[in-house]
């Protein structure tokens, strides 16, 4: 495939992938950066928060392996769509998880759901850009995900300072997660309509 698969130029596809990366990582940063503070805020203590973060990151490693197997079969775009949907569900669960077991359970789910998203961008770049451009394109897209993590962690703290509640910060993350979902859905829609038109033209 190439960028024309979507009826887009290479630069347009790069911009859309950067927007997707920014969206998923602003959302992803919220629990990753603030789970220790959230546990402290709810009276469970920093030590419990650190254990919860460790559990989340451990399941994130498993997630990378699992999503790798899935993406080998269905491709990077569809895998991100699944990951984005699941990450959005986990972020929503955080809004309702009050008890310590509930928070641990959601953190396990969040780790499992988010860990495999970012590596899929490398697959997408390799699939839709020429090999000679893959390095620079991937560098740009991964930089967008890093910026997203930085902004997400910071803005969640700002929102907490304004509202004295992490709920608004989670809702903010969910909105960005939806933006990621919509960009990926748009690309899949463009790819399927392009292949249908191509099939009709060649018939």
For the chain, how many residues are written? Answer: 203
- How far, in Å, CA of 183 to CA of 143, rounded? 18
Three-state DSSP at 203 gives coil
pLDDT tens, the chain, 203 aa long: 788 889 899 999 999 999 999 999 999 999 999 999 989 988 899 999 999 999 999 999 999 999 999 999 999 999 999 999 999 999 999 999 989 999 999 999 999 998 889 999 999 999 999 989 989 999 999 999 999 999 999 999 999 999 988 999 999 999 999 999 999 999 999 988 877 766 666 65
Q: What is the DSSP letter of 43?
A: T
Q: List helix spans (H) across the chain.
A: 10-41, 46-74, 76-96, 100-114, 117-128, 131-163, 166-202
Question: How far apart are the C-alpha atoms of 136 and 60, rounded to whole Å?
Answer: 26
pLDDT at res. 198: 63
For residue 42, what is the DSSP state?
T
| Separation of alpha carbons 112 and 31, rounded Å | 13
For position 196, what pLDDT does the model report? 72
What are residue 46's phi and psi, to 5 degrees? -70, -35
Angle at 139 between CA 186 and CA 148, to 5 degrees: 60
């Amino acid at each position: 495939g190439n960028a024309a698969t979507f009826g887009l130029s290479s630069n347009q596809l790069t911009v859309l992938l950067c927007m997707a990366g920014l969206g998923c990582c602003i959302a992803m940063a919220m629990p990753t950066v603030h789970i220790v503070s959230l546990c402290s805020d709810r009276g469970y203590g920093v030590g419990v928060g650190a254990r919860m973060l460790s559990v989340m990151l451990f399941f994130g490693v498993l997630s990378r392996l699992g999503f790798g197997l899935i993406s080998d079969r269905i491709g990077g775009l569809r895998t991100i769509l699944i990951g984005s949907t699941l990450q959005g569900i986990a972020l929503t669960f955080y809004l309702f998880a009050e008890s310590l077991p509930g928070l641990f359970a959601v953190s396990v789910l969040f780790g499992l759901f988010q860990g495999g998203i970012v590596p899929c961008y490398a697959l997408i770049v390799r699939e839709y850009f020429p090999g000679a451009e893959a390095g620079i394109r991937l560098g740009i897209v991964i930089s967008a995900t890093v910026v997203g993590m930085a902004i997400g962690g910071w803005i969640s703290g700002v929102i907490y300072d304004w509202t004295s509640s992490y709920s608004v910060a989670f809702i903010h993350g969910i909105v960005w997660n939806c933006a990621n979902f919509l960009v990926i859905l748009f690309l899949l829609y463009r790819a399927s309509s392009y292949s249908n038109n191509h099939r009709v033209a060649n018939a």
